Chains A and B, each alone.
Chain A
C-alpha cells in the first residue's frame, strides 16, 4: 500500500494536513456541508404532479389532444366549451405536440390513456381497433348516424363493421395557386395532364418555380404518389396496393413513377431538404406558381403568416387517365376515438354524441379557416371561399382516400416514404425498378407474406 512517489492527483497538496486536524474538522460536520439536503432529498422525493384525479364521476372526463398549434388548439377549446354547456360534462384537455402524440400512440393506448383522444380515420384507426385497443361506439352512432353521409360512416368503421371513431373535419389535397398570379399572367386552370405540363413550361419561362415542393418530413410527397396512382390506375387499384393485395412490382406502379418523372423538372429542386412550410412560403411570396398539398397545411399557413387568404385558390389535380378523370382524391379525416382503457365511458360517450352534431362542427370551425366539417350538407357560417370550395369538391368525388400513411400499415408507409425520397433524389428508370423491387420485397417481410 505504498503511496506512489509522484503524489499527483487533485488536492494532493491539500491532503498534507495533519490527520488529526482533518478528522477533527470532519467531526465538526464538514461532511454535512458536502452535499446539503442530501438526506432530506432522499426521504422526500417530491415527484407528484399534484393534480387531482377525476375518475368515476360521469361529469368529468379527460381528453388527449394533439392539437398543439395555436389555431387548432383554439378551435378545439371552443368545441369543448360548447360541449360542456351542452352536455354538462367537464373536460380536461391534455395537449401533446402532434408528432410526439403520433409516435407514442401505441404506448399511449396501452398505458394510461385519457377517456377520449384525437386520431385519424381509415386504416390508421382500424389498425388499433384490430388490436383491441379501442372501444366500439355503436350506441353513439345510433344517435348521430343521421347527421352524416355514407362516406363519413365508412371512415368511422373498423374492419369488424363496428364504429370506433367520430369524425370532426376533413380537407382535400389539391393544387393551390395565387389568383393574382394567374390573373396577371393570363394563366388558365389546367384540366388535364398536357395542359398542366404546358402551364408548368410557361411558368418556368416566366421565371417562376412551377410547383413548390418539399419532402423533408417524409410524408408530403406521399400525396403526390397517391394522386398520380388514383389518376392513372384509379381508386380501387390504389386501395389494393395499400392493403397488400397488389404488388409494388406491378407495371401500374411503374407508370406512376414514370409520370412523376415527367413532372420532375417543374418541381422545386432540393425537396428532400425543405420543410413544406418553406415551400408554402415560396408560393406565398409568388416565387412559385402552384403547390400540391392539403388545404389543412397551405391555407393554415397563409392564415398564420397573415397572408391574403382571399388571393389563395385551388383546383383539383388534372386528369391523366380519361376513364378515371378527376373522380378521386386524398381527403384525410380527423376525429376522436375512445381508448379501451378509458375510465369514464359514460361521460365520454355523452361528449361524442355532442361532437357528432352539426352545431358541434360549427363550434369547432369558428376558429378553423381551412378544414371542412363532415356533417351532411353542412355550410358553416364562418366558411371562407376555400372552405366552401373544399366542401363542394369533396362532395363531388366518387371516392376519397385517406392518405398514403393512413391507408396502409405504418411500417409499409415508412418504407414507401423512404423509397420516394430516393426517387426524388435520383429520378431515373433504373432507380424506379430498384425501388419497386425493394418495396415488394419489404412488403413480403412486413406482412409476413
Chain B
C-alpha cells in the first residue's frame, strides 16, 4: 500500500477523505478541471479524424463525383458521357473494386509484400542497428545520426533523391554497372517486375532508421542491472540480449510491430511521386488518392477503397490495443 504520510498526523475524521482522494476520487471542482482538460482534444479528434472516417464509410455506398448533393435513390444508367451522380449504389463500389478494377488486387498484393519486406528486412535491420549502437561502440552518435537522416527527410524528397539513383539513362546504378545504353538498360522504375523492389529499397532505407530509434528508446529503458548480472554470470553479449534483455522488451516490440504494419499500409508518397502508383507500384493508399483527389473524382468508389484500407488497418490496431490493455489490467 501507499507509503505513510509524514506530515503532522491527520485527524481521524479527515483520514477517510484524504484516502479517498488518494485513490483517485474527485471533487466536483476537479471533475470540471478534468473535463476542461479533455474537452478540446476529444472534440478535435472526433471532429477531424473519427467523424470523417465514419462519413467515408457512408460515402462508399454512393456514386458521387464530389459535386452536388447525395440522394437516397438508386442510380440510373447513363447513355454516353454524362453520368448519374450522388445516387445510392449499395455495395456496388465494393463489388466493382473486387471484380472490375484492374489495379485493386495488385495493390493488395503489393501492400502485403511491402509489409513482408518491412517485417523480414527493414525492422530486423533497424533492431540490429539499435542493439549495436546500444552496446556503445565508438562513434555511435555518428552512426545513429546518419541512419536516422532519411527519417528526417520528407518522402517527396526521398522520391527525388532515389530518382537520381534509378534513372535509366542517367542514374547512378545503371551508369556504374554500364547498363545505361538503350539496348541494355535496366529499367528500375518502369519494369513492373523490378520497380516494387527498387522502391522497397528506398522505403527500407528510411524505415530501418525509424525502427532503430524506436528500439533504441526501448533498449535505453531496459534495466542496466539485468545486463550486468547476466555478464557476471558469464553470458556473452548475444546470449545476454536474447535471454535477458529481449524478453523485457515485449511492450516496445508490440509498438514496433504496429508501427511496421501501419507504415506499410500507409506507404504512399514515395510511389505517388515516382509514377502515381501505376504499372507495378499499385498500393491501396494511392488508389484511394487517385480516385478521390485526382481529376477522376469518383469519390464514392474511392471511399470504398478507403474503407477497405480502414478495415485492414483496424486489424493490427485492435491487436495492439488489446495487448496494451491486457497489460494494464494486470497492474
Same complex for A and B? Answer yes
Known contacts A244-B80, A418-B102; A274/B190 CB under 8 A = yes
A-B contact count (CB 8 A): 140
Q: Report chain B residues within 8 Å CB of A272.
A: 187, 190-192, 275, 279
* Cα-based distance from A53 to B221 in the complex (angstroms): 54
Q: Report chain B residues within 8 Å CB of A10.
A: 220-221
CB-based contact A410/B81 at 8 Å = no
Q: Report chain A residues within 8 Å CB of B169.
A: 274, 278, 281-282
Q: Report chain A residues within 8 Å CB of B75.
A: 448
CB-based contact B65/A270 at 8 Å = no
B277-315, CB < 8 A from A: 278-279, 290-291, 293-298
Please pick, from A133, A273, A441, A447, the residue contacting B188 in the complex, using a CB distance under 8 A. Answer: A273
Q: Report chain B residues within 8 Å CB of A245.
A: 80
Question: Is B153 close to A, CB under 8 A?
Answer: no
A-B contacts, 9 listed (Cβ < 8 Å) = A102-B295, A104-B293, A123-B81, A131-B68, A410-B296, A410-B297, A417-B278, A418-B102, A425-B279
Q: Report chain B residues within 8 Å CB of A287.
A: 182
Question: Is A414 close to B, CB under 8 A?
Answer: yes
Please pick, from A103, A127, A447, the residue contacting B294 in the complex, using a CB distance under 8 A. Answer: A103
CB-based contact B298/A441 at 8 Å = no
- Measured as residues with beta carbon below 8 angstroms from the partner, the interface class of chain B is 35 or more
CB distance from B171 to the nearest CB of A (A): 10
Question: Is A95 close to B, CB under 8 A?
Answer: no
Q: Report chain A residues within 8 Å CB of B296.
A: 410-411, 414
Please pick, from B66, B185, B293, the residue contacting A103 in the complex, using a CB distance under 8 A. Answer: B293
Q: Report chain B residues within 8 Å CB of A414.
A: 290, 294, 296
Binding site for A on B (CB under 8 A): 1-2, 63, 65-68, 75-85, 96, 100-103, 166-170, 182-183, 185, 187-192, 195, 220-223, 225, 275-276, 278-279, 290-291, 293-298
Q: Report chain B residues within 8 Å CB of A438.
A: 102
CB-based contact B279/A409 at 8 Å = no
Chain B binding surface, main DSSP class? loop
CB-based contact B82/A216 at 8 Å = no
Stretch touching chain B among A22-30, A75-83, A105-113, A172-180: A105-113
Interface size in chain A (residues, C-beta < 8 A)? 59
A424-449, CB < 8 A from B: 425, 438, 441-442, 444-449
CB-based contact A103/B168 at 8 Å = no
CB-based contact A270/B191 at 8 Å = yes
CB-based contact A6/B223 at 8 Å = yes
* Cα-based distance from A12 to B105 in the complex (angstroms): 50
CB-based contact B78/A449 at 8 Å = yes
* Cα-based distance from A271 to B188 in the complex (angstroms): 11
CB-based contact B67/A418 at 8 Å = no
CB-based contact A131/B80 at 8 Å = no
CB distance from A277 to the nearest CB of B (A): 11
In the complex, residue of chain B having the shortest beta-carbon distance to the beta carbon of A124: B295
* Cα-based distance from A32 to B76 in the complex (angstroms): 64
* Cα-based distance from A447 to B225 in the complex (angstroms): 68
CB distance from A203 to the nearest CB of B (A): 12
A1-43, CB < 8 A from B: 1-2, 6, 8-10
Closest 4 CB pairs of A and B: A273-B190, A272-B190, A270-B187, A273-B187
